[in-house]
Amino acid sequence: MAEPREIAPRLRRALVAAFSESSITLRPRPRSAHGRADWSARIRGDTIDLDLLIEYKSALTGARLRDAVAQIRHHAALDGETVWMLASDYLSATVQDTLRDAGVPFIDLAGNAWLTHHGVHIDRRGFANPAAETRLPRGPFSDKASLVSRALFASEGSRGVRDLAGELGLTAGYVSKVLQELDRRGYLTRRTDGVALRHASELLTDWLHAYRSRQPASSMTYFAPATSATALVETARGVDFALWPDYALTLQAGASLVSRYAEFDTLELYVSDASMADGIAAQLNARPVSRGANLVVMVPYYRVSAFYGARRIRGLSVVSDLQLYLDLYDFPRRGREQAERIFERRLLPRLREMEAAE
């Protein structure tokens, strides 16, 4: 992360661009009666007379953004005429909209800025990130590491490090490192009896962004004689592989067993090893094809954690609701619609429970 002395001149240039034809004085790390900001700025001009307290945040995860909004609104309510403002290296259009909706003034080092206060209105948006934009490291959203978030998401109450490690088959040291990263990103609350997730909705959003950059799953495509994909699912219930471990339906076929209104034309399933594919195809009398497949067998990107939370529904193994949501979100042919249905009916009630427990 850049040092304050490196950020200050860039922040001053952004302020000069936003408050043109004004005198600007920027000072580091002032103290107020109710909190501490990173900088104060005095803006003086013919039509502007403002005192700003500027809170700088570098890597804004969803949780850090939520905390920053709450912090700034709290300070603004206490500090009267002083305007609290959020600053960052770069704020995406989505984040800018979130801040505007929350009434939080902002400025970034790319030149985007918004502020409305006592007749002063600044609105500069549409400036691209001048640096090559890079995603935050996947960290807790990588395959093995995501097991920790999955377990915490499914848990009632707090969990201990050794408790998690024992359930997940990971070392306590590794689990501890993942928890430290979740904590750094603002997604962990520590209690006397262990740890729990906080801001789980924002964590899911960040997780989805990380997952969308993944490499596609390797897949093997087949055609099985069946009048429809629904009929193929019915056939699958009666063959040997339905009882095998290490497979799970996903995408629209999986969603069809969770949400009765999900439509699908292909049976898609994950296997832990590609060698299982031909055996499954043989049991369904399917042959390999390059076009017109109605059976797709995939080795998932999450080779370990995609199977966490899989459950049996009507005789077949189906990935968790969380994994269904991740898989469906960018899937063509009504995938986003089905993902949103899974979210609203299956994930949102759980997120509300977790929010109430924070």
Question: Which pair of structure tokens corresponds to residue 219?
Answer: 């897949």
Burial of 83 (C-beta count, 10 Å sphere; 0-12/13-18/19+): buried
The secondary element (H helix, E strand) that includes residue 153 is helix 143-154
Percent of the chain with pLDDT over 70: 93
Residue-wise pLDDT tens digits, 214-243: 777 789 999 999 999 999 999 999 999 999
Model pLDDT for residues 139-157, shown as the tens digit of each residue: 899 999 999 999 999 998 8
Structural domain boundaries of the chain? Answer: 4-124, 139-213, 218-353
Check residue 136 and give its pLDDT: 44
* Cβ contacts of 304 within 8 Å, gap of 6 or more: 143, 144, 147
List pLDDT tens digits, range 168-227.
999 999 999 999 999 989 999 998 889 999 999 999 999 998 898 777 778 999 999 999
- Two tokens at 41? 């700025």
Tell me which CATH code domain 4-124 carries: 3.40.1350
State residue 322's pLDDT score.
Answer: 97
Q: Do domains 4-124 and 218-353 have the same CATH topology?
A: no
Q: Is 244 helix (H, G, I), strand (E, B) or coil?
A: coil
CATH dotted code for 218-353? 3.30.460
> Do β-strands 39-44 and 49-56 pair in parallel, antiparallel, or remain unpaired?
antiparallel
- CATH of region 139-213: 1.10.10.10
